[in-house]
Amino acid sequence: MKNKRTSIIAYYLPQFHPIKENDEWWGKGFTEWTNVAKARTLFKNHYQPRVPADLGFYDLRLKEVILAQSELAKEAGVSSFCYWHYWFGGGKQLLEKPLKSLIDDKSIDFPFCLAWANHSWEKKRWNADVSRLSKELLIEQKYPGKKDIDDHFFSLLPAFKDKRYYKIQNKLVFTIYKAEDIPDLTYFINRWQYLAKKNGLIGFYFIGHTSNLENVDSSLYNLMDAINLHLLSSVFKESRFRNLISLIFKRPLNVVSYSKALYSWENNIIKKEKVYPCIYPNWDTTPRMGTGGTVLNNSTPKLFKKHVDRILKMVEHKKEDNRVVFLKSWNEWAEGNYLEPDLKFGKEYIITLANCLKENENS
């Protein structure tokens, strides 16, 4: 008997268009491509710079780009894009234009959902030229209170009412990056569920994003409908001493072979019904972080296939609605974390994911 195809939800970064704030912080015209284009090789066999192929150095203000991305995602077998969404409190948003353009244009035929990236932006996280010791804050994540929770909901209501919005159990998928940072998560969840029903929607399917294994069985994360477990960082050794040495010798120390790392992401905890794992095509944050970055070295489509096959096998026993895997990511180029075509591999990662899904479905 055939398996149901596993749903692939791909995180999607909307940082590929200029905004006023980035112009002020980094200079006129700054986008994610600024860091991507200036990246350099930092050690032997280091794959940098990474240059986009089919889509080029695109601008997400152009409808043609989003259409082309949607077609590639369909080819890969991706079920939905999951747009990173930035609401800092008090009505302050950033990088919201691609989502608004998508909602305004119903001709773009591809599902989407949202992930609230509820964290502050630090200057050192966005640009390799900034000292790793910097504590300068660009914009702070705030939680002003109950009115802000309502304002946040209503700002997104046109998205929630869009027929393309992706659902699990017929409920709106909404992922929260740091659920533990929300002052009263119970109130937030209950209030949004109430507002959804009051506005003609069935309700939300809340997914908590975490890299902490202890959160899986915590009372806080049990308030969520499911958990997206992000285990990539488990392979890297973080310490102030290592960071200092990397700065002195101008060489990243957190470099791990992809072929070894892929086994670290197969914790049996992802076999739990409501735990949704991630798959990772590649990873390299040196365009943003310089020598303080972390690198999965020597990723190839062949190794990616091995990784995806093993993860799909681990979740194939689950109930239909829980056969969900997150792709991290579709287009986080400055983190070396993308499925989109580049000059080195072309569409091989896209073809690989499609083949893995078809083979698993027919097994």
Q: Where are the domains of the chain?
A: 7-362
Instruction: State the pTM of this model.
Output: 0.95
pLDDT of residue 126: 64
Among candidates 313, 310, 231, which has minimal Cα distance to 278?
231
Q: Which residues pair with 295 in a beta bridge?
A: 255, 284
pLDDT of 64 reads: 97
Determine phi and psi for 122, rounding to 5 degrees.
Answer: -100, 145
The per-residue pLDDT for 289 is 86
The number of CA neighbours under 13 Å toward the Cβ of 186 is 3
Burial label for 176, CB within 10 Å (0-12, 13-18, 19+), is buried
Q: Cα separation of 305 and 309, whole Å?
A: 6
The pLDDT of residue 5? 85
Nearest by Cα to 257 from 290, 228, 298, 219: 298
Q: Provide the pLDDT for residue 1.
A: 46
Tell me the fold of 7-362. Answer: TIM Barrel (3.20.20)
Mark the ranges of the chain whose per-residue pLDDT is less than 70.
Answer: 1-3, 124-134, 238-252
User: What pLDDT is recorded for position 133?
Assistant: 55
CA distance 16 to 333: 10
Give 90-138 pLDDT, tens digit per residue.
999 999 999 999 999 999 999 999 999 999 998 866 665 655 556 789 9
Cα gap 301→307, rounded to integer Å: 10
Distance CA 167, CA 203 (A): 10
Q: What is the pLDDT of residues 309-358, one digit of tens each?
A: 999 999 999 999 999 999 999 999 999 999 999 999 999 999 999 999 99
